[in-house]
Structure 1
Amino acid sequence: MAHLSYVNVFARDIVALSAFYQKVFGFQEIESIRSPIFRGLDTGKSCIGFNAHEAYDLLQLSHLSETSGIKLLLNFDVDTPEAVDKLVPIALEAGATLIKAPYETYYHWYQAVLLDPESNVFRINTVLL
């Protein structure tokens, strides 16, 4: 069976953006794979990679590098609604923008919707069932 190993985010500033997620969620950098155009963070179950725009050429994606619009939604699960409430101000202090304050969804999750410092959408969630 396949499993998700990495979600990679193209970033203007891989150092600052990876530091944001380290500060908010406490993820550790995987220093053994650090390069001038890449940073990786271990989330515990999978990893988040941050690629500099130079990676477009490396991956032969330059002709597809249109970056306008929302094309990615990162989800970070926590154990309780209180953990969601605790992390939102930490994210805001680290440079996030609140899009939707914590609320209970129709599918019984408690979540907040935010933008990271490079305007990538992410949610902090917990399942209420």
Structure 2
Amino acid sequence: MNITISLASFISEEFVALFEFYSTTFELAEVEELHSDIFRGAHVGDMTLGFSAPVVYEMLAIQEWSDPKGTTQYLTFEAASDDEVSTLTERAVVNGARLLHDPYETYYGAFQSVLADPDGNVFRINHFR
């Protein structure tokens, strides 16, 4: 069996703005065929990064999770080099991210930064050496 992740999604009142933040920061192309009044998607390799309006809580019968507290997951975007980590980190901050941890070398030999997007979702920009 070969399992892959096809879609990872954010749910946000400001789903269009959040889509714009990630697509602009990481230069991601929109998945045009998924564009709707309640959803935007961006190509990230073989995966789609999705951005949904809060109406999906009801559509998916997951209203219980509609008011989460704290970060329960985070995304890691893989860069091609340490320099690209720094460049993307700067771009993310210019686009509205909050820098939580300057780019640094991890104990496992990666170079990464940690940020929060405009909605407060934590994400990392990483380069495995």
Instruction: Measure the CA separation in 1 of the matches of 2:19 and 2:65.
Output: 24
Give 1:119 shift. Answer: 0.3
Question: What percent of counterpart residues are identical?
Answer: 37
How far did 1:115 drift?
0.3
2:76 alignment partner in structure 1: 75
Aligned to 2:123, the other structure's residue is in SS state strand
Give per-residue Cα distances to partners, 1:21-55, cap 9 Å, x unaligned.
Answer: 11110001111111111111001231100111100
* Alignment match, 1:36: 37
Q: Give, in angstroms, the shift of residue 71 of structure 1.
A: 1.2
Question: Partner amino acid for 1:10?
Answer: I
Contact 1:39 1:51 in 2 (8 A): yes
Gaps in structure 2 of 5+ consecutive residues: none
Aligned AA for 2:8? V
Specify the code of the residue in structure 1 equivalent to 2:110: W
What secondary structure is seen at the aligned counterpart in 2 of 1:76? strand
Deviation of 1:2 (Å): 1.4
Alignment RMSD, CA only? Answer: 0.9
Matches within 5 A, 1:18-37: 18-37=19-38
Q: Which runs of 5+ in 1 are unaligned?
A: none
> Matched residues in 2 for 1:63 and 1:121: separation?
21
Q: What one-letter code is carried by the residue in structure 1 that aligns with 2:22?
A: Y
TM-score relative to the length of structure 2: 0.96
Is 1:127 the counterpart of 2:105? The answer is no
| Maintained 8 Å contact 1:12/1:118 | no
Runs of 4+ in 1 over 6 A off after TM superposition: none
CA distance in 2, matches of 1:87, 1:64: 31
TM-score normalised by L of structure 1:
0.96
Per-residue Cα deviation, 1:53-112 (whole angstroms, up to 9, x for no partner): 100000001123231111121100011000001111110000000000000000111000
Look up the equivalent residue of 1:73 and give its one-letter code: Y
Q: How many residues align?
A: 128
Q: Secondary structure at the match of 2:114?
A: strand
